[in-house]
Structure 1
Amino acid sequence: MAGFAAAVAPDATWIAPRGQVPVGDGWAFFRRHPDRTLDTEDLALRAGYLRGFVTASVMRHGLARPPVLAGYSNGAIMAAALLALRPGLAAGAILMRPKPPWPERDFPRLDGLPVLILAGERDDRRDPEDAPLLARQLTEAGAAVTACLLPAGHGETRADRILAADWLARMS
């Protein structure tokens, strides 16, 4: 995500935390069960830790406003979980290839919070209803949701960066 942040917001202050769960050759923010379903207990626990890290980082860097969260795949699910558990933590969110952290639960009030959802129409790692369900949940909570279905799979594309940069420019 550091390359993504540098591309879409080169003049912004950004932090790029890494998940703490080893997965293959990389890291994830939370565990999954063997059948790939979300371990929602682990997700909630680790969201609390990340919330503390984000809060401390905002204070350490003396930021004038809360950050815009940006996450891809596992990170997008974590960012959505942070919105659900700590609504005032973020000034907005960019969620690439997300799925709802808790499909059966309502989000708290997120009145006017800008959220960009970037989904891939050929994403073989997401159910076609994941992004629309998350968009509905956020909209019902009052968030200002922009949802885009891209002609893409699960991987990040140039279109993701262009749409995110344009969306961020409109936020300023």
Structure 2
Amino acid sequence: MKHIFRQGTDPAAPTLLLLHGTGGTERDLLPIAEALAPTASVLSVRGNVLENGMPRFFRRLAEGVFDEEDLVFRTRELYEFLDKASVEHGFDRGSLVAVGYSNGANIAASLLFHFKDAFKGAILHHPMVPLRGLKLPELSGLPVFIGAGSNDPICSPGETEELKELLGQAGADVTVHWERNGHQLTRTEVEAAKAWFDGRFAK
């Protein structure tokens, strides 16, 4: 998968996995990583799927309607890529914190839904429930931050609450931060994510 890896200056910090939204690239969330943890290593990945020329991490059938077969395939593909990337770039696979926005948050959530050891933590900006009717792995104590919009036209508050409940039932420690800026990723949301991150991962 096309990606950027930047070695950080703090070997104790978790490595940030950046996953962009629809139409983004592996460069989109680099400023977010800088705001969250400027000394951390960063692995930023571009989605392998194109929708009308716009990169995504999995196909969809319509707005808000996922191609579930492709989602499952791409989730495993990304998981296997992360295993290989950790060897290639020499970062601790067990110390990976996902930072995803929109479509990138959805594939990160799908990784949590499928794999017990996908991440050490996750920051999900405006995610949806990736799949329903799936028994989640044991996620005991796994810290998850969800940034959501109370007036998000793509991801309703009900969707956010459902995702929180599903992750919580699997044992994850979920924090939801609400904004009133639709589906946008705002500075105040990033600041809230940083405060959350510092409280759990900063030394």
TM-score w.r.t. structure 2 length? 0.80
- For 2:126 and 2:158, the matched residues in 1 are separated by 12
Flag structure 1 segments of 5+ consecutive residues without an equivalent: none
1:37 to 2:65 alignment: yes
What does residue range 17-166 of structure 1 map to in structure 2 within 5 Å?
17-24=45-52, 26-34=54-62, 36-64=64-92, 65-166=94-195
Instruction: Point out the structure with the larger strand share.
Output: 2
Matched pairs, number: 172
1:49-73 Cα distance to aligned partner (Å, 9 max, x none): 1111111222233224420011111
Flag structure 2 segments of 5+ consecutive residues without an equivalent: 1-28
**Residue 129 and residue 106 in structure 1: after superposition, are their counterparts in 2 closer, same or farther (change >3 A)?**
farther
Q: What amino acid is aligned across from residue 162 of structure 2 in structure 1? A: L
Instruction: Note the C-alpha offset of 1:19.
Output: 0.6
Q: Is the 8 A contact 1:55 1:89 kept in 2?
A: no
Q: Is the 8 A contact 1:103 1:134 kept in 2?
A: no
**Residue 7 and residue 26 in structure 1: after superposition, are their counterparts in 2 closer, same or farther (change >3 A)?**
farther
User: Residue 15 of structure 2 aligns with which residue?
Assistant: none
Q: What amino acid is aligned across from residue 54 of structure 1 in structure 2? A: L
**Residue 101 and residue 146 in structure 1: after superposition, are their counterparts in 2 closer, same or farther (change >3 A)?**
same
4+ aligned runs moved over 3 Å, structure 1:
none
- For 2:174 and 2:87, the matched residues in 1 are separated by 27
- For 1:123 and 1:117, the matched residues in 2 are separated by 13
Q: Is the 8 A contact 1:73 1:97 kept in 2?
A: yes
- For 2:63 and 2:165, the matched residues in 1 are separated by 26
- For 2:81 and 2:150, the matched residues in 1 are separated by 33
Q: Is the 8 A contact 1:106 1:137 kept in 2?
A: no
Instruction: Note the C-alpha offset of 1:35.
Output: 5.6
Q: What amino acid is aligned across from residue 82 of structure 1 in structure 2? A: L
Identical aligned pairs, as a percentage?
A: 36
- For 1:139 and 1:13, the matched residues in 2 are separated by 28
TM-score w.r.t. structure 1 length? 0.93
Q: What amino acid is aligned across from residue 139 of structure 2 in structure 1? A: L
When the two chains are superposed, the root-mean-square deviation of aligned CA atoms in Å is 1.5
